[in-house]
Amino acid sequence: MCRQLALAVGQPRRVRLSARDEFEALLVPALDAAWGTALRLTGNAGDAEDLLQDASLLAWRGFGSFEPGSNFRAWFFRILTNRFFSTWRKQKRSGTTLELEEAPELYLYTRAEELGLQQTPDPAGALLSKIDVETIEAALAALPDEFREVATLAFMQDLSYQEIADQMAIPVGTVRSRLHRARRLLQRALWSVAEGRGLLRGPVADSTGEP
Amino acid sequence: MPLPDRLTCEETFERLDDYLDRELDAAERRRVDEHLAVCDVCTAEYRFEATVLDALRDRLRRVRVPEAVRGRLLTRLREASP
């Protein structure tokens, strides 16, 4: 019912939005997280913007198939990741910057132990207080594509192994092993980037801020 | 000597990643919980890994789409035919 008709029949408070306004009202709150996902999947801001635009236009054209009241964000993220894996990734595969040498388990835990942090109340918090978000982003970006992609979907969208497998069209067992390995590689990359940037020099504070 | 239905440290460690990802079924999850309740070493490892994961997730999610990117996107959308 259009607004004028609603007014005429005595239901003046319900203003019907146009489909475009409705789409924008749902899209805008999802943009920060979608941008974060696009940035980490593509590895750079220019490609992330193109991917986000592509996905948004596709979503707008397919908005008729969106079921009102269902989870728009999940629907839109599926379009974004499908677009990335079906088209984008094939065209713009980036090079890898990290050697595929196996990273040991509990890498940071062991490093924290060597720094004597295991005696503090929050060893992980103490170590992470030295590592800024730029370092985390650089470490994630340094992972080989297949590991960065599963880690991105798991970190940014809270998806289950099965949901990641569906989005990437790979077996669920592959998702599981890649994700576990991605975390180990990421810990090692984090340490190496943080060390390279000189972030680990000097005393490491414990979680209470005491050096 | 652990009880037959109790997990050893090694068995617990093998399940740690799936436990962190909340991918264990209820029975397996309970067995890990039971081991963590009595083992300080595994609990310290689990807490460390969980804290690192939460911190990474939290920091990576604190990203904002740049104003210029958002502006260009909305302009393109408004120009696009329905």
Q: Give the ipTM.
A: 0.87
B35-62 mean pLDDT: 95
Q: Identify the pLDDT of residue A208.
A: 44
Sign of CA dihedral A109, A114, A115, A119: positive
What whole-number distance in Å separates Cα of residue A12 and Cα of residue A5? 9
Residue B15 lies in a domain: yes
Domain annotation covers residue B1: no
Measured in angstroms, the CA of B71 and the nearest CA of chain A are apart by 11
Please report residues of B whose CB lies closer than 8 A to that of A124.
47-49, 51-52, 55
Option in A60, A109, A140 nearest B45 (CB)? A109
The pLDDT value recorded for residue A103 is: 76
**What residues have CB less than 8 Å from B37, skipping those under 6 apart?**
none
- Residue A119, pLDDT score: 83
Q: How many folded domains does chain B comprise?
A: 1
- Examine residue B3 and state whether it is found in any structural domain, yes or no: no
Higher-confidence position of B1 and A102? A102
Which pLDDT belongs to residue A60?
96
- For A20, A96, B39, the CA distances from A7, given in Å and listed in that order, are 22, 61, 68
Q: If you search the block for the tokens 């081991």, which residue do you land on?
A: B35
Tokens of A58: 């596709």
**Contact map slice: A 61-90 vs B, CB within 8 A:** 61
Task: Please judge whether A161 and B45 are an interchain contact, meaning their C-beta atoms are less than 8 angstroms apart.
Answer: no
CB contact under 8 A, A187 and B52: yes
Instruction: From chain B, pick out residues whose CB is under 8 angstroms from the CB of A31.
Output: 65, 70, 73
Asked whether residue B54 is assigned to any structural domain, the reply reads yes
pTM of the entire structure?
A: 0.82
CB B53 within 8 A of CB B20: yes
* CB A84 within 8 Å of CB A42: yes
CA distances B76 to A52, A138, A153, A163, B71, Å, are: 11, 30, 26, 30, 9
End-to-end CA distance of chain B: 69
Q: Do A62 and A55 meet the contact criterion of CB atoms below 8 Å apart?
A: no
- Alpha-carbon distance B4 to nearest alpha carbon in chain A (angstroms): 27
Mean pLDDT estimate for chain B: 92
Q: Best mutation site among A18, A21, A32, A147 for testing chain B: the one with the most B CBs within 10 Å?
A: A32
Residues whose CB is less than 8 angstroms from the CB of residue A164 and which lie 6 or more positions away in sequence, other chains included: A150, A153, A154, A175, A179
Residue B73: pLDDT band (50, 70, 90) is very high
Q: Which of A104, A147, A133 is nearest to A194 (CA)?
A: A133
User: What confidence score (pLDDT) does residue A114 get?
Assistant: 87
CA dist A189 and A90 (Å) reads: 26
pLDDT value, residue A92: 56
Domain-embedded: residue B59: yes
B64 versus A97: the higher-pLDDT residue is: B64
pLDDT value at residue A108: 92
- Given this model, what pLDDT does residue A93 score? 52
Lookup: tokens for A36: 């974060």
Length of chain B in terms of residues written: 82
Q: What does the block give as tokens for B65?
A: 């789409």
In a domain, B63, yes or no: yes
B77 touches chain A (CB under 8 A): yes
> Could you say which residues from 17 to 36 on chain A have a Cβ atom under 8 Å away from some Cβ of chain B?
19-20, 23-24, 27-28, 31-36
List per-residue pLDDT tens for chain A, 211 residues long. Answer: 444 444 444 444 455 678 889 999 999 999 999 999 999 999 889 999 999 999 999 999 999 999 998 999 999 999 999 999 988 776 655 555 555 566 788 999 998 888 888 888 899 998 888 888 889 999 998 898 889 999 999 999 889 999 999 988 899 999 999 999 999 999 999 998 888 888 877 655 444 444 4
Residues 6+ apart with CB under 8 A from B15: B7, B24, B28, B31, B32
Distance CA B43, CA B38 (A): 9
Q: Which domain, by its residues, includes B58?
A: 9-80
> Is residue B50 included in any domain, yes or no?
yes
A-B C-beta contacts closer than 8 Å: 104
Please indicate if any CB of chain A lies within 8 Å of the CB of B69.
Answer: yes
Q: Mutate which of B73, B74, B79 to test chain A, going by most A C-beta atoms within 10 A?
A: B73
Residue B81, pLDDT above cutoff 80? no
Q: Are A35 and A73 in contact (CB under 8 A)?
A: no
Tell me the shortest Cα–Cα distance from A50 to chain B, in angstroms: 9
Q: Is B39 within a domain?
A: yes
Distance (Å, whole) CA A24 – CA A21 = 5
Q: Two tokens at A20? A: 């475009």
